[in-house]
Amino acid sequence: MPQTITRGIKALLAEANAEIETLSAAEAMAIAGQDDVVLVDIRDPREIEREGRIPGSFSCTRGMLEFWIDPDSPYAKPIFQQDKKFVLYCAGGWRSALAAKTAQDMGLRPVAHIAGGFAAWCEVGGPIEMPPPKRPKTD
């Protein structure tokens, strides 16, 4: 017998967005580069390679976020122990909303996400940085 999903993605997103701070892309652009702000790109490395990233952002794939935030994890990253505002973004704002809610639930504060994600950033003319091309592997 198939499982019945009782809370779909729309409900999860509505719950997350009700509890977290959401910035417009323009608001995020206004604070990007400030010493007390860390933009966190939670997209997959292939997305970053293909589309670029917000200059100066810190890459943390969605699958590693909780492990990198938790100071007791063997994978903890010092950046998440700093007294800064963490602004998460993904491609369209869904993953980052859920990730920001999780980060906030873990105690990371202040945390926010960019509504519309990287796509919204691009739409308002935000700067984009392309990663260096990969070098071909040699034998």
| 137 phi-psi bin (left φ>0, alpha ψ -120 to 50, beta other) | beta
The pLDDT tens digits for 55-102 are 999 999 999 999 999 999 999 999 999 999 999 999 999 999 999 999
In sign, the C-alpha dihedral spanning 70, 49, 37, 115 is negative
Alpha-carbon distance of 78 to 71, in angstroms, equals 8
Residue 32's pLDDT band (boundaries 50, 70, 90)? very high
CATH number assigned to the domain covering 12-123:
3.40.250.10
Residue 39: closest CA among 96, 122, 107, 123: 96
- pTM to 2 decimals? 0.91
Alpha-carbon distance of 42 to 102, in angstroms, equals 13
